[in-house]
Amino acid sequence: MTVKQYKNHLATFLSEASGILILLFFIKNGMILSLIYGVML
């Protein structure tokens, strides 16, 4: 595998990983927000 291919592979992996992390972050915050709303109502 050439350096260029390796960098492309790494960039793809990082973008996918960050997308998943952001999704998990929003899901976690969404759960916390719905819990807070549930307590308030």
- From first to last of its 41 residues, the chain has per-residue pLDDT tens of 799 999 999 999 999 999 999 999 999 999 988 888 888 77
> Where are the strands (E) in 1-41, listed by range?
none
What's the confidence (pLDDT) of residue 38? Answer: 87
What's the confidence (pLDDT) of residue 24? Answer: 94
What's the confidence (pLDDT) of residue 27? Answer: 92
d(CA 31, CA 24): 11
